A and B are shown apart, each in its own frame.
Chain A
């Protein structure tokens, strides 16, 4: 066996690779799997939040805002606890971002409210005079794409095992269930119910009217997503 390997350098190289790769496999993979397991308290996004996430990606929010708090005191003082890899377990794709023109948004749901986001997205300077962020007025007119969000949810649930309709452990020891609709019509109804909850705290009459008509403006979905980031 070894004599044969000594005479066949190609297979010898393959053998060396297999041995080293095996060591890597047993040393790296278990640790990695452990660290990327969902942190207790991490929930998958709901349908409206998923639609908001799509709006977030569509408008390239991640080009200026990161979702990754590094373990430095200056950051944890400002944004809250540093990020853990397990908190991204249900993110597809993750939106870490690599540049902060604006602040980090990993836990923005902890310290901003629906009302604040509404004014801020319409005209950032109205709530933050020194802000350099542009306004996003079209989000108050365009409708969010609920069909795509539902398709994404379905894919995540069926192919990636994201636990929709299953109990997820929460920090206080209880369990939470994030529901997913079983039909497209059901999904629309579900998103609308979520949207109504958000618009009850909003002021823009056009947005309220649109939701009353059964449409969901992008801003409502986006605010749902931002509020969910905790």
Chain B
């Protein structure tokens, strides 16, 4: 046993002793705590392994002799032993190069993070979730959904009670159509894509009264406007007669409209509301912007809500 090993043993013992004293004088020592014990076991292992490694290399420095085959190159008479790359290292080196090429050409470009990609995934996921959760929503629930969408998107103009707001020119949704609107539509015609397609209604110069054979008159307009705004109820009024002779040809005798020809002017219906949301609307009180960014279910829900408002009228 030479001096080196002796020093090794002394230093190891000293460090282990220091560890023991440090831990021992802590309040409560290890406390039977598994984490503390693991830490101490690690410290002991570290001391011992370090000592073995240090001794190995110090010994090598003390005793090693230069040996091996010199390479041909010589730099100012300083030579180098032939020292081939270990086989494992070579494999790793080539493997890294192959991986690098894959990462550079495929790995990164295909899997790279993209903000928009993440956004698209999020939208897809949430839409699917929404679709699944509300696929069969109907009745009361659909109306409630419509109300919440309404409170976010529509309330700014149509008001909390959906009674419209003449200041900002939004319609009262508690009734299908107001007297003012009817008069305007008859006087100016209308083309609001309420049926989803271009289907203009003529102005008063295109509206004939089948009974009198003449164009509709101001008096008749007043009468029919009142009749329609009241919900086509009073069958004996003058307005009802005008309606039957002028409007019913397209809007139907009950005002329920006809597919591809004229919209329902008696009540709100689902497709009507959806078409207004899709295309916006322009009339006597002003212009409503299209709300086409809502999804189909939300539009349906708003339709259900609007229909629920005018029920019983």
The yes or no verdict on A and B being binding partners is: yes
Contact B168 A116 (CB under 8 A): yes
| 9-residue interface stretch from A7-15, A105-113, A143-151, A175-183 | A105-113
Q: How far is the CB of B49 from chain A (nearest CB, A)?
A: 42
Contact status B287-A113, CB under 8 Å: yes
Chain A residues, CB < 8 A from B30: none
**A188 CB to nearest chain B CB (Å):** 28
CB contact between A115 and one of B115, B153, B168, B293 (< 8 Å): that residue: B168
Residues of B within 8 A of A112 (CB): 156, 289
Looking at the assembled complex, report how far the CB atom of B147 sits from the nearest CB atom of chain A, in whole angstroms.
16
Is A126 in contact with chain B by the CB < 8 A criterion? yes
Task: Look across to chain A and name the residue whose beta carbon is closest to the beta carbon of B124.
Answer: A73
Residue of A nearest to B159 (CB): A127
Known A80-B293, A127-B165: A116·B157 in contact at CB below 8 Å:
yes
Contact partners of B156 in chain A: CB under 8 A: 112, 116, 127-128
Q: How far is the CA of A201 from the CA of B118 in the complex (A)?
A: 42
Residues B289 and A126 in contact, CB atoms below 8 Å apart: no
* Distance from B156 Cβ to chain A, minimum over Cβ atoms (Å): 6
In the bound complex, do residue A127 and residue B123 qualify as a contact, i.e. CB atoms below 8 Å apart?
no
| Docked CA distance A119–B170 (Å) | 12
Q: B173-185 vs A: 1/0 string, CB under 8 Å?
A: 0000000000000
Interface size bucket, B side? 20 to 34
Nearest-CB distance from A168 to chain B (Å)? Answer: 23
Provide the residues of chain B in CB contact with A129, threshold 8 Å: 160
Smallest CB-CB separation from B298: which chain A residue? Answer: A77
Cβ contact within 8 Å between B167 and A126: yes
Residue numbers in B under 8 Å from A102 (CB-CB)? none
Which A residues, 73 to 124, have Cβ-Cβ distances below 8 Å to chain B? Answer: 73, 76-78, 80, 82, 110-113, 115-116, 118-120
Q: List chain B residues, Cβ under 8 A from A111.
A: 153, 289, 291
**Is B234's CB within 8 Å of the partner chain A?**
no
Are the CB atoms of A115 and B289 closer together than 8 Å?
A: no
B129-163 interface code vs A (CB 8 A; 1 in, 0 out) = 00000000000000000000000110111001000
A73, B160: Cα distance in complex, Å = 26
CB <8 Å contact, A115 and B167: yes
Q: Does A71 contact B (CB under 8 A)?
A: yes
Contact A72 B122 (CB under 8 A): yes
Chain B residues whose CB sits within 8 angstroms of the CB of A73 once the complex forms: 119, 122-123, 126
**Contact, CB under 8 Å: A115 / B119:** no
Contact A113 B169 (CB under 8 A): yes
Residues of B within 8 A of A72 (CB): 119, 122
Q: Is the CB of B119 within 8 A of A119?
A: no
Bound-complex Cα distance A77 to B32 (A): 57
- Expressed in whole angstroms, the minimum distance between the Cβ of A80 and any Cβ of chain B is 6
In the bound assembly, the distance between CA atoms of A211 and B293 in angstroms comes to: 35
Report the bound CA distance from A144 to B152 in whole Å. 33
Decide if B24 is an interface residue (CB 8 Å cutoff): no
Q: Hey, which chain A residues are within 8 Å of B155, CB to CB?
A: 128
Residues on A with beta carbons closer than 8 Å to the beta carbon of B169? 113, 115
Task: Please pick, from B119, B157, B286, B293, the residue contacting A201 in the complex, using a CB distance under 8 A.
Answer: B286
* CB <8 Å contact, B168 and A113: yes
B1 at the A/B interface (Cβ < 8 Å)? Answer: no
**What's the least CB distance linking B151 to chain A, in Å?**
10
- With contacts A71-B116, A127-B157, A128-B156 taken as known, whether A113 is within 8 angstroms of B286 at the C-beta atoms is yes
How many Å from the CB of A150 to the closest CB on chain B?
Answer: 29
Cα separation A80 to B156 with both chains bound (whole Å): 17
A63 to B286, CA, bound (A): 31
Residues of B92-135 at the interface with A, using a CB-CB cut-off of 8 Å, are 115-116, 118-119, 122-123, 126
Q: Name the residue on A nearest B153 (C-beta).
A: A111
Q: Are B115 and A127 in contact (CB under 8 A)?
A: no
Complex: A110 Cα to B291 Cα, angstroms:
8
Bound Cα distance from A202 to B162, whole angstroms = 22
- CB-nearest residue of chain A relative to B117? A71
C-alpha spacing A161/B126, complex, angstroms: 42
A119→B168 CA distance, assembly (Å): 7
Residues B123 and A119 in contact, CB atoms below 8 Å apart: no
Cα A77 to Cα B286 in complex, Å, equals 25
List 20 interface pairs A-B (beta carbons < 8 Å), by A numbering.
A71-B115, A71-B119, A73-B119, A73-B126, A76-B119, A82-B116, A112-B289, A113-B157, A113-B286, A113-B288, A113-B289, A118-B168, A119-B167, A126-B167, A127-B165, A127-B168, A128-B155, A128-B156, A129-B160, A201-B286
Known interface pairs A127-B167, A201-B286, A203-B167; 4 further A-B residue pairs with C-beta atoms within 8 A, sorted by A's residue number: A73-B122, A113-B157, A113-B168, A115-B167
